[in-house]
Amino acid sequence: IEQFNWHDVVPRNIAIKQRIVDADPLENGVRKALNFGHTIGHGVESLMLQDGNQKLLHGEAIAVGMIAESYISAALSLISEEELALITQTILRYYQLPYIAEQQHAEILKLIGNDKKNSGKQNRFSLLKGIGNFSIDNYVEEALIIEALNYYNAKLA
Structure confidence by residue, pLDDT tens digits, 106-119? 999 999 977 656 55
- pLDDT(126) > 70: yes
3-state SS, residue 128: strand
Return the pLDDT at 23.
87
Confidence of residue 51 (pLDDT cuts 50, 70, 90): low
Q: For the packed helices 58-75 and 142-156, what is the interaxial angle rounded to 10 degrees?
A: 120
d(CA 152, CA 157) in angstroms, rounded, equals 10
Mean pLDDT of the chain: 89
Q: Average pLDDT of 54-67? A: 91
- pLDDT(1) > 60: no
Q: What is the pTM of this model?
A: 0.88
d(CA 69, CA 35) in angstroms, rounded, equals 11
Return the pLDDT at 87.
96
pLDDT higher at 8 or 103:
103
Q: For the packed helices 58-75 and 81-94, what is the interaxial angle rounded to 10 degrees?
A: 170
- pLDDT(127) > 90: yes
Contact predicate 121/113, CB 8 Å: yes
